[in-house]
Amino acid sequence: MPEALLTAERLVRRFARDTNLLVAGRTFDVIGEGDVPDELRTLLVRLRARVGDGAVAFVPGEEAEILLDGAPFPPREGADDRIDFAGDYMPVSRDIAARLRDTAAVRGVRIGIAMVLEPKTAQLALLLRDAGAEVAVYAHPDEIDVDVAAALRARGIPVDGDPALSGVAEREAAVAFLRRGHELLLDDGSHLIRLAHEADVLADLRGAAEETTSGLTPLRRMAAEGALRIPVIAVNDAPMKTAFDNRYGTGQSCVFAIADVLDVAGIGIRDQPAVVVGYGPVGEGVAAHLRALGAAVGVTETDPVRALRAAHDGYATGLLSDLAPNALVVSATGAPHTIDAETLRAARVVAVAGGVPEEVDLDPTGLQPVSHAGAVLPHLEQVGDGALLVARGGCVNLAAAEGNPIEIMDLSFAVQLSAVEQLLASPLPAGVHPFPGDADELVARAALAARGEAVDVRSTAQQRAQQDWRSPRYRREDVA
């Protein structure tokens, strides 16, 4: 890879890594002329950013190469720094939480949050607490930032979760959390919603919100079988969640995390084959970001419509067994057993975007450490004499990075907060319920207002035409 191109890519990835902010949709100022600034401008456009007079500036070659409002980025060294920094970039969630506070709808309501615990989740808990709710947080052992957990406890919010737990002890800890008597549950993967039903800890639970595809699939199965006993808002299906969280958030954070891990090993994304397994919203985002970094991307799908869409987006499509050999394979299905032993033998690198347990069929006892330049590399191991495996097949943007960008989670958590509002507004029957379209539009308008963006309105003539169901071709006054 040309040195200027590699330098530009590393600068963009460093911006994302050091700030946990989003590239797409942001305006960057690139200062200077020459190969590196030119490559930066080109790469930023490929990543759906704007180049112009922005608050964030790249100044290649200077001592401080990335500036915010003309100064180096503030430090995010401790957990409190990272929590507060995240809060600075979550205006939409603040807006929805303020509405909850002003209406007193959530005052005194016991709310449990069962999600990956990192700075953005901490902000969600703090916003709900400040709106008047009684909040507690649970995090699975492999999804907890212990420093963030300690900082949140110091701010008065109970946090259950311990990275040392597994098996029976993990289940007991999760059941104990449910026995706190939550009225509402905000879940990620529906693990706690399902466990509440299995352990029959439903007495106080009035409803829940679920924000992942992999979590909604079993809940819909439960509903079809008559086993779901509470109302659940399908947060994941809200356009303001799926259209941004999955495509832009998971796409950027997973691909950049993979690139960071491989860069340390002397492996670049550019000019090598890459295969995205699954072309749902996450797969679309992963494929787009891999392509932006210069990979030759292929897609494999079991859904014929999605496969055809991938082909029309310009990706090679085919069977995983044909595309995987010597390629970077990224699973984006959120389904167990996606990456089998044959793929692990054939691929060059394997990583998981999003992820559920056992998405990679893996015997961890066969993993071997990988060294480069005399040092053992973090987040990278070899599966026997086969592929290099990133983050042990776990969710790469969490295991090897800080999760989805702050502004993306601002939108997703704004939807979660609005789902709380929906659950409290009026009793809902048991089942999976769509997130209301008008509530989704309110979140979108709040996001546009926070960005200072304008949205157009329909003219009077357009509105009148939409209200008239008659065919304009055959109106009586127009027929001679």
Kindly state whether residue 248 falls inside one of the protein's structural domains. yes
Q: What is the pLDDT of residue 480?
A: 52
310 and 433 in a single domain? The answer is: no
Kindly state whether residue 454 falls inside one of the protein's structural domains. no
262 and 205 in a single domain? The answer is: no
Partners of 432 in beta bridges: 232
315 and 441 in a single domain? The answer is: no
254 and 391 in a single domain? The answer is: yes
> What is the tally of structural domains in the chain?
3
320 and 415 in a single domain? The answer is: no
Q: What is the pLDDT of residue 479?
A: 53
301 and 410 in a single domain? The answer is: no
Kindly state whether residue 313 falls inside one of the protein's structural domains. yes
Nearest to 16, CA basis, from 61, 76, 62, 69: 76
End residue of a domain, out of 72, 101, 123: 72
The Cα–Cα gap between 321 and 319 comes to: 5
Partners of 194 in beta bridges: none
332 and 438 in a single domain? The answer is: no
> What is the C-alpha radius of gyration for the chain, rounded to an integer number of angstroms?
23
Kindly state whether residue 470 falls inside one of the protein's structural domains. no
144 and 224 in a single domain? The answer is: yes
Q: What is the pLDDT of residue 38?
A: 97
**Residue 62: which domain range?**
3-72
Tokens of 401: 């990075």
- Can you give the CATH number for the domain in which 116 is found? 3.40.50.1480
Q: What is the mean pLDDT of each run of 10 residues along the chain (480 residues)?
A: 90 96 97 96 98 96 93 90 97 96 94 97 98 97 95 98 94 97 96 98 96 93 98 96 94 98 95 94 97 97 98 98 98 94 97 89 91 93 96 94 96 97 94 97 95 92 89 69
Q: What is the pLDDT of residue 195?
A: 98
Q: What is the pLDDT of residue 12?
A: 98
Kindly state whether residue 455 falls inside one of the protein's structural domains. no
Kindly state whether residue 196 falls inside one of the protein's structural domains. yes
Kindly state whether residue 310 falls inside one of the protein's structural domains. yes
290 and 235 in a single domain? The answer is: no
162 and 211 in a single domain? The answer is: yes
108 and 66 in a single domain? The answer is: no
- Residue 105 φ then ψ, to 5°: -65, -30
Q: How many residues does the chain have?
A: 480
Kindly state whether residue 23 falls inside one of the protein's structural domains. yes
* Chain position carrying tokens 């900082």: 151
Q: What is the pLDDT of residue 353?
A: 96
Q: Please tell me the pTM assigned to this model.
A: 0.94
The Cα–Cα gap between 408 and 247 comes to: 10
50 and 125 in a single domain? The answer is: no
Tokens of 211: 């924000």
